Chain A
Amino acid sequence: ILNVEQSPQSLHVQEGDSTNFTCSFPSSNFYALHWYRWETAKSPEALFVMTLNGDEKKKGRISATLNTKEGYSYLYIKGSQPEDSATYLCAFWDSGGYQKVTFGIGTKLQVIP
């Protein structure tokens, strides 16, 4: 069973604050890392697909970095807004012949107006 860990499990920030969370994954057999945004009562929405060590992706106020050698990815949100409140999931894809994906349990972000 692959270990994909996300920290913190939950986070409360004030509107306007910047924040970041971590996804840790095995440093071997890396194929890809996905980040998702998951609002309550909805389904996960893709944010980023990261495949190369050193990858940096950005979408609006949200960005992500990837370090495959040490097995972690950071997700940053600049100037948090109430609509950023959601659970942020990462998913690790391994490079085995029969490729599997393992999800972290997510970081639940609450932005307080």
Chain B
Amino acid sequence: DSGVTQTPKHLITATGQRVTLRCSPRSGDLSVYWYQQSLDQGLQFLIQYYNGEERAKGNILERFSAQQFPDLHSELNLSSLELGDSALYFCASSVSYSGAGEQYFGPGTRLTVT
């Protein structure tokens, strides 16, 4: 158990809908990263927050947004969902704001868009 929690574990929704994925980092970690793993693709970095502020952005679509709250939990909002958004979404936390620190991955949320 990495100490990172993600909810829900599974989510099934229809095209055009909006969903929110939630992540609670390990105690003491200020950084939260969001990743997407689609079928037959490697992990893709979406976005990073550090202590409430956006720190780095990867291949995140405009339909997706994220935020980190004062208690350091983070939410990833996915809107106008398309079939291609079906994927496993991981969050990871780290004590570091940079790549110099170990990352601890949560169990993931599997999103299925029908």
Contact = CB atoms under 8 A, between A and B. Distances in A.
Interface of A: 31-32, 34, 42-46, 49, 51, 89, 91, 93, 98-106
B105 A49 contact: no
A104 B106 CA distance: 19
Given A100-B56, A102-B45, A104-B42, A43 B103 contact: no
Interface of B: 2, 33, 42-45, 55-58, 90, 92, 98-108
A23 B19 CA distance: 35
The secondary structure that dominates the A interface is: strand
Interface centre among B43, B44, B100 (most CB of A within 10 A): B43
A17 B42 CA distance: 27
A25 B76 CA distance: 29
28 contacts: A31-B98, A31-B99, A31-B100, A32-B98, A34-B99, A43-B106, A43-B108, A44-B43, A44-B90, A44-B105, A45-B105, A46-B104, A49-B100, A49-B102, A89-B43, A93-B98, A93-B99, A98-B57, A99-B55, A99-B98, A100-B56, A100-B57, A101-B45, A103-B43, A103-B44, A103-B45, A104-B42, A105-B42
Contact of A51 (B2, B43, B90, B100): B100
Contacts of B98: 31-32, 93, 99
Contact of B99 (A32, A42, A105): A32
A99 B42 contact: no
Given A49-B102, A99-B56, A101-B58, A43 B90 contact: yes
Contacts of A46: 102-104
A43 B42 contact: no
Contacts of A99: 55-56, 98-99
A5 to B, nearest CB: 11
Contacts of A44: 43, 90, 92, 105
Contact of A43 (B33, B45, B56, B107): B107
Contact of B56 (A45, A91, A98): A98
Nearest to B2: A43
